[in-house]
Amino acid sequence: MTHSGTPPAAEVRPHPAKMAYEVLTAVSMTVGRGSAARAMTDLAALTSADRVVDIGCGPGTAARAAARRCACATGVDPAPMMLRLGRWLTTARHIPNVTFVRGTSEALPLLDASVTVTWAISSVHHWTDRAAGLAEASRVLAPGGRILLAERLVKPRARGHAAHGLTRDQADQLANDLKAAGFGDVHTEVRKARRRTLVIVRGSRPAAG
Ligand SMILES: C[S@@+](CC[C@H](N)C(=O)[O-])C[C@H]1O[C@@H](n2cnc3c(N)ncnc32)[C@H](O)[C@@H]1O
């Protein structure tokens, strides 16, 4: 693992059909994501002093949006194809202060207290161990840092793709999980991002002292 954007040497190339599927998935995640990214930059009230990590960044739309307003942004994702596309788009758009690193929410490849904002958009429902992910988010946040977890608000009986997100009850559970992980000032809000309705659970790491 490096922080320089170099893929790990042991990365194995998938079967061409699987690779084509991964390319299509990654490209599809560049479409229509701008409004959610802007909602996050607004809600986080980013300043030029902030350092942001986007957990489960996909091809990095929100990391790039953050980088336009903050000191630096890091996109973390377990999927090599997402990271490749993210790096390519970032280079093509000449955005210098974004780095992409392979990792998961459960094992963030970042130093303790190294960022001021952690956020995740449509990735929490993919995390395999939420408690571990929240512990990692807390570890990498500086005291007083903010956490914002956004998911599509879904209906309780939704199935298939329509179920990819959180119901209001599940969002309330996520808020409780944040409190259990030691975050303070936890609250939940609902926001429209073009055609999507997002539920955003946010909080902050208590300031030191
Ligand atoms: C629906 S996509 C969202 C991508 C991006 N945040 C966006 O809104 O466009 C979910 C992302 O979560 C990533 N992911 C899956 N498991 C994860 C984990 N355990 N930790 C962090 N990210 C994960 C996937 O690789 C994928 O890129």
Record the tokens describing residue 206, joined without a space: 């208590």
Pairing of strands 98-102, 141-152: unpaired
Q: How is domain 32-204 classified at the architecture level of CATH?
A: 3-Layer(aba) Sandwich (3.40)
Q: Contact, 65 vs 42, CB < 8 A?
A: no
Q: Contact, 119 vs 40, CB < 8 A?
A: yes
Residue to probe by mutation, ligand 1, list 27, 54, 77, most atoms within 8 Å of CB? 77
CA-proximal residue: ligand 1, atom 22 (nearest): 56
Whole-model pTM: value is 0.90
Ligand 1 atom closest to Cα of residue 26: 27
Quote the pLDDT of residue 157: 86
Q: Which helix (H) or strand (E) holds 106?
A: none
Quote the pLDDT of residue 20: 82
Which strands make up the sheet holding 141-152, listed edge to edge?
A: 98-102, 72-77, 51-55, 115-121, 141-152, 196-204, 184-193
Q: Where are the domains of the chain?
A: 32-204
123 lines ligand 1 (CB under 6 A): yes
Q: What is the full per-residue pLDDT of the chain (209 aa) written as tens digits?
A: 434 444 555 566 778 888 887 777 776 777 777 889 999 999 999 999 999 999 999 999 999 999 999 999 999 999 999 999 999 999 999 999 999 999 999 999 999 999 999 999 999 999 999 999 999 999 999 999 999 999 999 999 888 888 889 999 999 999 999 999 999 999 999 999 888 899 999 999 999 75
64 lines ligand 1 (CB under 6 A): no
* Short-list 71, 72, 73, 75, CA closest to 86: 75
Phi, psi of 181 (to 5 degrees): -85, 0
Beta bridge partners of 101: 76
